[in-house]
Amino acid sequence: MSDEFNPNAPEEFEDDINNLISELNSQFGEGRSRWYYDEPSETLFIELESIARLDDEEIGKKAEPVFDNSELDFEEIVLLPMTD
């Protein structure tokens, strides 16, 4: 196992998350979004404007294939409707 330092790691991490959000936006429809990563719990919180009017079942059906295809490894990913 290699513990080599990767100076691009933070940027690549953010790029991977932004790509995930782009895929989610293509599933739900475009809109504003933002995210927050809670490092201690390894939880990614994603707020999407486009899910505000959807029920949990519909959100799950559309988000599950995106999460399944993602190579990101979080303890949990939480989708929330975007609030101002």
| Tens place of pLDDT per residue across the chain (84 aa) | 445 655 656 788 899 999 999 999 999 988 899 999 999 999 999 999 999 989 999 999 999 999 999 888 899 999 999 877
- pLDDT for position 71: 86
Domains in the chain, number: 1
Cβ–Cβ < 8 Å for 44, 35 = yes
Domain presence at residue 18: no
Domain presence at residue 51: yes
Domain presence at residue 21: no
Domain presence at residue 10: no
Domain presence at residue 2: no
- pLDDT for position 5: 57
- pLDDT for position 1: 44
Tens digit of each residue's pLDDT (9 = 90 or more) over 36-50: 999 999 999 999 999
Domain presence at residue 69: yes
- pLDDT for position 80: 95
Q: Hey, how many other C-beta atoms are within 10 angstroms of the C-beta on 70?
A: 16
Domain presence at residue 75: yes
Domain presence at residue 25: no
DSSP string of 21-80? HHHHHHHH----EEEEEETTTTEEEEEEGGGTTS-HHHHHHHHHHHHHH-----SEEEEE
Residue 50's domain spans which residues?
A: 31-84
